[in-house]
Amino acid sequence: MKGLEEIAERFREICRENVPASELTTYKTGGKAALTACPRDSGEAFDLFRAIRETGVKFFILGAGSNVLISDRGFDGVIVLTSNLNGIRVCDNEISCESGALWDKVCETACENSLAGLEKTSYIPGTAGGAVRMNAGAFGIETFDFLKDFTALNLETLKTETVKKNEVRYGYRFVEGIEKYFILSASFTLIKSSKDQIRRERETIIAARKEKQPLEYPSAGSVFKRPKGDFASRLIDVCGLKGLRIGGAMISQKHAGFVINYDKASAFDIYALIQRVKKEVFEKTGVKLEEEQIFLGEFQ
Ligand SMILES: Cc1cc2nc3c(=O)[nH]c(=O)nc-3n(C[C@H](O)[C@H](O)[C@H](O)COP(=O)(O)OP(=O)(O)OC[C@H]3O[C@@H](n4cnc5c(N)ncnc54)[C@H](O)[C@@H]3O)c2cc1C
């Protein structure tokens, strides 16, 4: 494909061809990405997205791939990775990070600097960019609770914008209009507090996550959003679906909200199991579960 070849040639220092999805997502399965590109700074990101626009190739932005399932047929465009943009800076009670910084590293840095606020979101896999995009959260705290602003390349105008928290509508795993941005960095306003207290809270949260989640298997966390007034995992459990398998994919015995790559699952196995769960939960309880996870490529 001409456009992809042009991009691969022009950005060869930061591009890889035919990259297996198993290297890109935490489900550790799926087909190949025709091309990945990993810009080293905001200027290179700008040049890359301008070239993407000029060539008309398909693109997808990926952080740590901890909320994405890539089809076994792969993705015939360019996947833009953020792992080279990973700086974290602390100034007074503010922490600023580039989008590819690992979220838990941001939480740890906040703790080391005696800054409270993020500790309940400790150990959520993924990057700061992914956390902002998803408004990721845990134990009653969401990314946007302490967000001050984010700086992003607007992919419609190709201009850099700093978007303040109060300029966007956001909610549970939802940020309005966020799809048009390549997030470059984000800043959080935190609260000066006792380092020991923050560390203890972090340790408690990390221990609880290790105890409740099947972290020994590849997954992308909870598949479904929380339905109003209930938990997807409870509904899946009462429907008797724990341990259900399609191919190598399984509903975790430990946490029914997780589909795990139990034994060399294909992306189709995982996708089929998710659809089966949705159908059975709807038939048995009348609740329509909605996926939190993102599916990239063809699954039909
Ligand atoms: C074991 C496990 C536990 C989990 N627990 C939780 C939890 O407690 N709470 C929770 O909310 N989530 C949880 N998740 C899901 C996931 O970790 C979060 O959604 C996380 O924030 C995704 O970050 P990421 O960098 O991996 O994003 P990716 O999965 O790479 O991408 C997710 C979305 O964000 C977009 N994106 C990523 N980076 C950028 C960027 N720089 N600019 C624009 N768009 C971008 C992608 O295009 C995609 O649409 C869990 C996942 C796993 C595997």
Residues near ligand 1 (Cβ within 6 A): 26, 60-68, 82, 99, 124-127, 129-131, 133-134, 136-138, 181-183, 213, 215, 219-221, 294
Q: Which atom of ligand 1 is nearest to the CA of 66?
A: 26
φ and ψ at 88, to 5 degrees? Answer: -135, 135
**Inter-residue contact 109 to 94 (CB < 8 Å):** no
CATH number at residue 208: 3.30.465.10
CA–centroid distance, residue 2 to ligand 1 (Å): 31
**Which of 23, 66, 176 should be mutated for ligand 1, with most atoms under 8 A from CB?**
66
CATH number at residue 273: 3.90.78.10
Exactly one of 173, 185, 219, 252 is catalytic; which is it?
A: 173
Say what the pLDDT of residue 100 is: 98
d(CA 56, CA 54): 6
CA–centroid distance, residue 100 to ligand 1 (Å): 11
Taking alpha carbons only, the member of 205, 208, 187 closest to residue 115 is 187
103 band by pLDDT with thresholds 50, 70 and 90: very high
Claim to verify: residue 93 and residue 129 sit in the same structural domain: yes
Mean pLDDT on 180-208:
98
Give domain status of residue 249, yes or no.
yes
Decide which of 28, 52, 81 is a domain's last residue: 81
Say what the pLDDT of residue 154 is: 98
Residue nearest atom 1 of ligand 1, based on CA coordinates = 221
Neighbours of 212 (CB within 10 A): 13
Exactly one of 122, 185, 222, 266 is catalytic; which is it?
A: 222
Calculate helix-pair angle for 103-112, 195-212, nearest 10 degrees.
150
Give domain status of residue 219, yes or no.
no
Claim to verify: residue 283 and residue 204 sit in the same structural domain: no
Mean pLDDT on 209-214:
98
End-to-end CA distance of the chain: 24
Q: What's the mean per-residue pLDDT of the chain?
A: 97
d(CA 2, CA 16): 16
Give domain status of residue 21, yes or no.
yes
CA–centroid distance, residue 138 to ligand 1 (Å): 13
Give domain status of residue 223, yes or no.
no
d(CA 126, CA 174): 17
Give domain status of residue 218, yes or no.
no
At 284 the three-state DSSP class reads helix
Claim to verify: residue 188 and residue 108 sit in the same structural domain: yes
CATH number at residue 66: 3.30.43.10
Say what the pLDDT of residue 163 is: 98
Residue nearest atom 39 of ligand 1, based on CA coordinates = 129
What are 56-100's pLDDT values in tens digits? 999 999 999 999 999 999 999 999 999 999 999 999 999 999 999
**Inter-residue contact 118 to 110 (CB < 8 Å):** yes
Domain that holds residue 142: 88-212
Claim to verify: residue 73 and residue 126 sit in the same structural domain: no
Claim to verify: residue 58 and residue 120 sit in the same structural domain: no
Say what the pLDDT of residue 276 is: 98
Claim to verify: residue 128 and residue 52 sit in the same structural domain: no
Claim to verify: residue 96 and residue 155 sit in the same structural domain: yes
Claim to verify: residue 159 and residue 260 sit in the same structural domain: no
**Which of 42, 124, 270 should be mutated for ligand 1, with most atoms under 8 A from CB?**
124
| CA 181 to centroid of chain Cα atoms | 15
* Structural domain count of the chain: 3
2 band by pLDDT with thresholds 50, 70 and 90: confident
| Joined tokens for residue 194 | 């006792």
| Joined tokens for residue 277 | 């769960």
291 band by pLDDT with thresholds 50, 70 and 90: very high
Claim to verify: residue 17 and residue 71 sit in the same structural domain: yes
Claim to verify: residue 132 and residue 201 sit in the same structural domain: yes
Residue nearest atom 48 of ligand 1, based on CA coordinates = 62
Annotated catalytic residue 222? yes
Give domain status of residue 208, yes or no.
yes
What is the DSSP annotation of 143-198? HHHHEEEEEEEETTTTEEEEEEGGGS-EETTEETTGGGEEEEEEEEE-EE--HHHH
Instruction: Indicate the pTM of the whole model.
Output: 0.97
Mean pLDDT on 101-123:
98
Claim to verify: residue 200 and residue 239 sit in the same structural domain: no
Give domain status of residue 40, yes or no.
yes
Claim to verify: residue 162 and residue 239 sit in the same structural domain: no
> Is beta strand 249-251 parallel, antiparallel or unpaired with respect to 245-246?
antiparallel
CA–centroid distance, residue 63 to ligand 1 (Å): 7
8-state DSSP, 203: H
What are 215-256's pLDDT values in tens digits? 999 999 999 999 999 999 999 999 999 999 999 999 999 999
Give domain status of residue 217, yes or no.
no
Say what the pLDDT of residue 87 is: 98
Residue nearest atom 52 of ligand 1, based on CA coordinates = 221
Decide which of 62, 81, 100 is a domain's last residue: 81
Decide which of 81, 108, 123 is a domain's last residue: 81
